[in-house]
Amino acid sequence: MKFWEKIKNNPHLRKNLITRASVLKELRVFFSRENFLEVDTPLLVQTPGLEPYLNPLEVKFLTNRQTLVPAHLITSPEFALKKLLAAGFERVFQLNKCWRGGEPYGGTHNPEFTMIEWYRANSDYQQLMSDCEQLVHSVHQAVCDANNVPYDGWLTYRGRKINLSAPWKKLSVKDAWNQYTKLNLDEMLTTERMAETVRAMGLTVAPDDEFDDLFFKIFLTYIEPQLQKDIPLILYDYPIQLAALARAKQEDPRYAERFELYIGGIEIGNGYSELVDANIQQQRFEIDQAKRRQLGKNVYTIDTDFIDALKSGIPPSAGYSIGVDRLVMLFTDAASIDDVIYFPASDLFI
């Protein structure tokens, strides 16, 4: 059955998609109320992100000179939005499509998905934690209002009651390791020590495994499945090797000011206090390029315009992104992303 036929014959699916519209509307209302400027930066770019484990979708297009040139659909609008911080904007957000290849269809993944990403100048990740809490409350209330359901701060997802109105739990990555594995993360912040720990826990270490590979073998096996699910959870302060574009903690540079938001066990968002040092960012990009080369992935050039923007000066800033489709899943009690988006890949690319 084609997707349009499913909508025609499934009132629950139709209701999910109507709720999706309520979510998108409220996201814009929320950021407008917070005095953010909505921007719409390009979705087709020459230089994509360099995250080692992401697969940008590549396209070719015919230029005005009648030549075919390679381009990429964005995995995130991050570079462009930070360039706008360099241009002097202080609060910006973008609600747009992003693309990532090589991931399974269904569950919480679709190669084309919707993301909302926002940045605050003169701010840090603590402010973003507050943003996330206010945003989720605001969207949840709007969904309840649209469905004529009394708002009480509670959400039911896949049979589990989640208290959105309770104080959100904040747990450092180091404390999570100690709580769920009884390990002291401070003592295993090198590749060698992490590899020893992985082996001791009965997991396999590949010859080319680096710190991030080893970290996630333990995290995904022993920690993430146990994270608290009855209230939203903010997991913060990741090892510096997992900093991405986050700045190091001033009081302990072994860790980065990065956090992820989990609701009902689903990872909803990721963000951080921004690294604004161009030289350090250049070094991190080069490390990412080396990792992609090691993994046999396409190695892309560094966005030198982004480096130049950092060099021009960006105030202390923070940015966050939330997977909108996953948020809609929570508010519709949907088991799969396919139940909350239009024409999912599982329908289009059989």
Encode 218-242: b = buried (16+ Cβ within 10 Å), e = exposed. Answer: bbeebbbeebebebbbbbbbbbbbb
| pLDDT number for residue 1 | 86
pLDDT exceeding 90 applies to what percent of the chain?
A: 97
Residue 255 has pLDDT above 90, yes or no: yes
Topology (CATH) of 3-168+231-348: BirA Bifunctional Protein; domain 2 (3.30.930)
pLDDT at residue number 162? 98
Cα–chain center distance at 130: 17
Cα 338 versus chain centre, distance: 19
Residues 6+ apart with CB under 8 A from 135: 27, 30, 322
- The 10 Å Cβ neighbour count of residue 195 is 20
pLDDT of residue 244: 87
- pLDDT surpasses 80 at 350: no
- pLDDT tens for residues 173-186? 999 999 999 999 99
Q: What pLDDT does 131 receive?
A: 98
H, E, C per residue of 180-216: HHCCCHHHHCCHHHHHHHHHHCCCCCCCCCCHHHHHH
Tokens at 290, concatenated: 């080396």
**Digit-coded pLDDT (tens) for 122-172:** 999 999 999 999 999 999 999 999 999 999 999 999 999 999 999 999 999
Domain boundaries, the chain: 3-168+231-348
**DSSP one-letter code for 220:** I
Q: Label residue 61 by pLDDT band (50, 70, 90).
A: confident
DSSP letter at 333 equals T
* Position 28 pLDDT exceeds 80: yes
What does pTM read for this prediction? 0.95
Q: Please check the confidence at residue 280 and state whether its pLDDT lies above 80.
A: yes
What does the mean pLDDT of the chain come to? 96
Q: Which among 118, 79, 73 has a CA at the least distance from the CA of 97? A: 73
Please state, in angstroms and rounded to a whole number, the distance separating the CA atoms of residues 270 and 117: 10
Query: Region 13-26: what's the mean pLDDT?
Result: 98
- Residue 204's Cβ-count burial label (10 Å; 0-12, 13-18, 19+) is exposed
- The average pLDDT across 180-202 equals 97
